Amino acid sequence: MVEKQINCQHTCKNTCAMLNEALRKETSMVMFYKSTLEECNMPEVRNFINDLVDEKSKIILQIIQKLNEIHVRSQVIDGITSSFNNIDG
């Protein structure tokens, strides 16, 4: 079994290192699958690989959506925090 190669920093702001790494790896897998399609001429395998690409693409979109949610939430919190720090008077 492979050991973890990424450790959560628990101090992420506006993003998440673990989700970014997952995004990188999922994207890499899609590129790998697509490159195998160029070499494959067996319809059954091509269909299977295309299904894998579709599934991984959905996962990539979910990761991007979650990263966007984290970013927006951090911006809102920063906005609230800065509004308390900018009190004139």
Residue 4 within a domain: no
> Which helix or strand (DSSP H or E) is residue 32 part of?
helix 17-39
Residue 72 within a domain: yes
Residue 5 within a domain: no
Domain count, the chain: 1
CA 74/CA 15 separation, integer angstroms: 8
Those residues whose C-beta lies under 8 Å from the C-beta of residue 87, and which sit 6 or more positions away, are none
- Its domain, for residue 30, covers 22-80
Closest CA to 37 of 47, 24, 28: 47
- Alpha-carbon separation of residue 20 from 5, 8, 49, 50 (angstroms): 13, 11, 24, 24
Residue 88 within a domain: no
In this predicted model, what pLDDT tens digit does every residue of 58-79 receive, in sequence order? 999 999 999 999 888 877 776 7
Residue 69 within a domain: yes
Residue 58 within a domain: yes
Confidence grade of residue 3 (pLDDT, cut at 50, 70, 90)? low
Residue 28 within a domain: yes
What tokens does 77 get? 């919190």
Q: What is the pTM of this model?
A: 0.74
